[in-house]
A and B are shown apart, each in its own frame.
Chain A
Amino acid sequence: GEDVEQSLFLSVREGDSSVINCTYTDSSSTYLYWYKQEPGAGLQLLTYIFSNMDMKQDQRLTVLLNKKDKHLSLRIADTQTGDSAIYFCAESLYGQNFVFGPGTRLSVLP
């Protein structure tokens, strides 16, 4: 079955860049997503990328997709304390069958 893997923890200093990595197994995935979950809250869609793209940039966020290696990353430039949250990688096939990773807990140190 499909599987999405992420490292569970990441710590960075305020102002540095954060890179959160994700690997997935389903080569037929058409969309890959990054969601952010703050404590006690639901999931907020940050960005998504079509599987035929290899990069997408949106302000401080850069998503890189290596389809050959089934590797997705999210780079947050100039990380701020407000970026501290859990970041979930997810994949879907045409918007169905969403599979989420376990989440990476990002801690931003002052």
Chain B
Amino acid sequence: NAGVMQNPRHLVRRRGQEARLRCSPMKGHSHVYWYRQLPEEGLKFMVYLQKENIIDESGMPKERFSAEFPKEGPSILRIQQVVRGDSAAYFCASSPEGPRNIQYFGAGTRLSVL
């Protein structure tokens, strides 16, 4: 059973470009969470999605950031017009149906904005 898969592992963008981060949850998991980790800091919750629905986006910046989890395919975290401050590690986690007590994390995507 493959774990949570994130790609790319490393992403370099210039200021003003778009960044697309992909997350495939564990098999059988229908809940996806995105977190951001700034250097030397803990994880900050961004958004929680189920298939085709955004359940909680209270941690998402109001502009430039969006997330989706379509019926087919991976969840996508999209950052438009990236700025230096977006440089961080972005982690995806997934959990199964039913009691969602455990979140399993991917290895993360490290975004560097030049």
Contact = CB atoms under 8 A, between A and B. Distances in A.
A95 B101 contact: yes
Contacts of B99: 94-95
Interface stretch (A13-21, A39-47, A54-62, A63-71): A39-47
14 contacts: A42-B105, A43-B43, A43-B91, A48-B102, A94-B101, A95-B95, A95-B99, A95-B100, A98-B33, A98-B45, A98-B103, A100-B43, A100-B44, A103-B41
Contact of B101 (A31, A44, A101): A31
Interface string B21-44: 000000000000101000001111
Given A42-B105, A43-B91, A94 B100 contact: yes
B67 to A, nearest CB: 16
A45 B104 contact: yes
A97 interface: yes
Nearest to B3: A42
Contacts of A44: 105
A64 to B, nearest CB: 19
A44 B102 CA distance: 11
Interface string B77-108: 00000000000000101010001111111111
A95 B50 CA distance: 14
A4 B101 CA distance: 18
Contact of B45 (A42, A43, A99, A103): A99
Interface in B27-74: 33, 35, 41-45, 48, 56
Contacts of A42: 4, 6, 91, 105-108
Interface string A68-110: 0000000000000000000010001011111111110000000
A39 B86 CA distance: 20
A44 B103 CA distance: 10
Contacts of B43: 43, 88, 100
A56 to B, nearest CB: 14
A105 to B, nearest CB: 9
